A and B are shown apart, each in its own frame.
Chain A
Amino acid sequence: MSSSGDPDVLVIGGGNAALCAALMAREAGASVLILESAPRAWRGGNSMHVRNLRCMHDAPQDVLVEAYPEEEFWQDLLKVTGGLTNEGLARLVIRHSSRCRPWMRRHGVHFQPPLSGALHVARTNAFFMGGGKALVNAYYRSARNLGVRIRYETPVKSLEIADGRFKAAITEAGERITAKSCVLACGGFESNLEWQREAWGQNERGEWPAENFLIRGTRYNQGVLLKFMIDAGADTIGDPTQAHCVAIDARAPLYDGGICTRIDCVSLGVVVNRDGQRFYDEGEDFWPKRYAIWGRLVAQQPGQTAWSIIDRKAVGRFMPPVFEGTRAGTLEDLAQKIGLDPVPFMDTMRAYNTACRVGTFDHTTLDDCHTEELSPAKTHWALPIDAPPFYAYPLRPGITFTYLGMRTDRTAAVHFGGAPSVNLFAAGEMMAGNVLGKGYTAGVGMSIGTAFGRIAGVNAAQSAGFAHPEFKEEFAYAAAL
């Protein structure tokens, strides 16, 4: 293709979904231009922070053990979303995930068995060697080699749309770029603090909780085009006030703290808020199944903060944290060091310690160590916190992504008033709410983004007059046609 001039297919965004779309459109023969708002060093959006892909498989598959059949995947999705999902689209994503990896490999993605400390997903999730940034790098390399044009630091501000038809994109700098078709893959609005503040509102204490949130991923997902599309009358999906929110270390940076800022010792100790009070059962279930609810729990506490308190017995039993805990020889000292009033804190700790009924501790099972006559109870792994040194880790809510997006069907087309656009498509987080209306299960973000990124790319090329040579059969299988 020529190195300048307007492309057949314009892809807006520079993460996993955008790259999948660009690669597919290019494979179909279309000329493709990617507009990424981030500079090269920060390219890849939230996708550069990911680590795995949830995959359906009926038998062991290279790095995946045993089987994870369609039905089980679907039930998992149904459970985490509480039914806020579209079964047709969800099953499409699920089935697509069972066959997409050879294509990913062809574009340079490497898979590996689960990372140490993540064995619980050995059956369901294929890990990217080197993580999401290695994946994103591989896709960018492949795109460049195939002749896809890439422009960094080119945020798009708005689109020209006429009768549901994409005409052109207008960049922040005012440049107008036309194309025969367009894929929107520019993430959610999680990086937009102002919007978050509005979405979460004010609480009964008069606080604006979102002011104390940290964003786990990129700073570039400002939701500019999401807002634009909503105003332009596109059909939306997903709760605009909701976000996936986990408890992370309060010392994480405002953006891009990524995976390493999570705190994994919650279930091994107790969690207290600013008033020195416990507020939830820390041992309700295995931590990987619980960490997502703790974001919201912490968000409800005064100051949107809390502390995970452990003693020496827990050291070495959880994934090592990125920041050192505050350490003290006595619990009183610990309270002082983290700035809590020692009196209520000590009351809480004493009450907890005396309520512990220790059986056989085993943090790999839902063991029988629990509290009695304590509210809230700790139902598993309840050991008295009495072996110095003691450690405290400060917690804050960390936002992973938002759920609000464009309503689509299995063609990935953006809809206006229920009618699909012929040349405007959406992929990734921008439409993930169709499948994942709420909740989350590890690796499904990439399953959705890869499926719909590829579909959007093929259909955008199609509407520009290019047929993808291979995808038909794979799509027919995924869509159960």
Chain B
Amino acid sequence: MPPRSDQAVIETPPACGDALGLAAMLTASEQDVARMMQICNACRYCEGFCAVFPAMTRRLEFGKADVHYLANLCHNCGACLHACQYAPPHEFAVNVPQAMAKVRVQTYQDYAWPRAMGQLYRRAGLSVALALAGGLSLFMVLAVAMSGRLIHQPLAGNFYAIFPHNFLAVVFSSVFLFAILALCIGVTRFWREVSPTRDVVSEDRFAIAAARLPATAEAVSDVATLRYLGGGHGEGCNEEDDGFTLLRRYFHQFTLYGFLLCFAATSVATLYHYLFGWEAPYPWISLPVILGSLGGAGLLLGPAGLLWLNLRRDPQHGDSAQHGMDRGFIALLFLISATGFALLVLRDTRFMALWLAIHLGTVMALFLTMPYGKFAHGVFRSAALLKYTIEKRLPNRLASGGE
């Protein structure tokens, strides 16, 4: 049986630059990924590092959808750059993590909803800063407007004396739900592009159905353990040089689980409030405070570590144009946690309203920028991993033989 891709081969973007066929439809950074993948596919030395290379070997040509998928599958670990015999100064100039990073941010932009908002990725650092400034001033002004002043007599930690609970619930849940909706629409668009149903060979339908459950379980575990920041051998990824370290994985775990714990704290508090009528402030030894404190600690340590790593990482990894987005997001997470702790400590003092406004302002900034900033990476990477874990359970239609 001829390979499935025969049809498409005719339209393949040529690897080495003669502009024919579909190449015109690929952006410059997408063409760069396609060009490098063609080199990698003939080499394959990096197959053991991550999911990108096994996914690549199932393909002969790299169209827009393939490039978008692979770019989001890449974890920017750096292993394949340091191991590449074709990396600059070689004339092939293969730098997979960098090429992937450039496309990755472009996909966030292309699939953003509403589409026009995708423009924010172009200045993601600035967007975070503006959202932060906006969030802060909004809540400061509101605090003054609603309670008269920012500095006040101690209120025994009663936040709702400043902002009524329902007000906060409505404002935050509507922004948050919008962010979730926007991310869902974005990632659905991405999924449709990279896994078009029209391409599914009919024999595969059954295999896909059978794969769904185990594939999801594997993808969840790959996300939960950040498997592909392990370098394939479990010693971790690269930072400033060709040595491996697990620090990025650990700091990311602190960040990710910290974030989830903070989210859980808020959810529990919301349940307490509406289900049991227990109102904040909660005692130091209570589920919301414990979850929030643990999560907050993770969100201090994790982002601090990620920033430290980010600053000393080999500039060849990733795309330096994205430093604003990455570092802005890291800083925002750190600020949310830091201001949250400050609020916890100062909630019985005259500065509660001030710190409450500051904390709420930073949280608002995160929610506002979630669908248009670095946060999207978690959603898109998870989707790409799920596609990979499904795909690898399907028969490979290529029969490329030996040596």
A binds B: yes
Minimum Cβ distance to chain A for residue B246 (Å): 15
Per-residue A-contact encoding for B176-195, CB less than 8 Å = 1, 0 else? 00000000000000000000
Q: How large is the interface on A (under 10, 10 to 19, 20 to 34, 35 or more residues)?
A: 35 or more
Q: Which of A269-277, A310-318, A345-353, A453-461 contacts B (4 or more CB under 8 A)?
A: A310-318
Q: Which residues in chain A, 276-319, are within 8 Å of chain B measured between CB atoms?
A: 286-288, 291, 312-313, 315-319
Per-residue A-contact encoding for B85-98, CB less than 8 Å = 1, 0 else? 11011111000000
Chain A residues with Cβ under 8 A from B46's Cβ? 130-131
Asked if A363 and B401 sit within 8 Å, CB to CB, the answer is yes
Given contacts A256-B90, A259-B43, contact A137 B82 (CB under 8 A): yes
Asked if A115 and B38 sit within 8 Å, CB to CB, the answer is no
Q: Which residues in chain B, 42-58, are within 8 Å of chain A measured between CB atoms?
A: 42-49, 54, 57
Q: Which residues in chain B, 68-100, are within 8 Å of chain A measured between CB atoms?
A: 79-80, 82-86, 88-92
Pick the most buried of A51, A260, A364: most chain B CB atoms within 10 A of its CB: A260
Partner of A315, one of B2, B84, B85, B235: B2
Closest to A316 in B: B3
Minimum Cβ distance to chain A for residue B316 (Å): 11
Partner of B42, one of A127, A128, A313, A321: A321
Asked if A137 and B12 sit within 8 Å, CB to CB, the answer is no
Asked if A322 and B39 sit within 8 Å, CB to CB, the answer is yes
Asked if A117 and B400 sit within 8 Å, CB to CB, the answer is yes
Say if the beta carbon of A129 comes within 8 Å of chain B: yes
Chain B residues with Cβ under 8 A from A313's Cβ? 2
Closest to A109 in B: B233
Asked if A112 and B5 sit within 8 Å, CB to CB, the answer is no
Partner of B402, one of A128, A134, A286, A316: A286
Asked if B91 and A253 sit within 8 Å, CB to CB, the answer is yes
A264 to B399, CA, bound (A): 13
Given contacts A112-B47, A116-B57, contact A319 B401 (CB under 8 A): yes
Minimum Cβ distance to chain A for residue B208 (Å): 22
Chain B residues with Cβ under 8 A from A320's Cβ? 38, 41-42, 60, 400
Asked if A129 and B233 sit within 8 Å, CB to CB, the answer is yes
Given contacts A258-B85, A316-B6, contact A130 B48 (CB under 8 A): yes
Per-residue B-contact encoding for A320-362, CB less than 8 Å = 1, 0 else? 1111100100000000000000000000000000000000000
Given contacts A322-B42, A324-B12, contact A120 B80 (CB under 8 A): no
Minimum Cβ distance to chain B for residue A216 (Å): 11
Chain A residues with Cβ under 8 A from B42's Cβ? 259-262, 319-322
Minimum Cβ distance to chain A for residue B54 (Å): 7
Asked if B85 and A256 sit within 8 Å, CB to CB, the answer is yes
Pick the most buried of B2, B15, B48, B92: most chain A CB atoms within 10 A of its CB: B48
26 A-B Cβ contacts within 8 A?
A: A41-B88, A42-B89, A110-B233, A110-B235, A112-B47, A116-B57, A117-B44, A129-B232, A130-B80, A133-B45, A134-B79, A258-B85, A260-B42, A262-B403, A264-B402, A315-B2, A315-B60, A316-B398, A317-B3, A317-B399, A317-B400, A317-B401, A319-B41, A320-B400, A363-B399, A364-B401
Other A-B contacts than A48-B85, A129-B233, 7 sampled, CB-CB below 8 A, are A117-B403, A130-B49, A134-B82, A264-B402, A286-B402, A287-B403, A315-B3
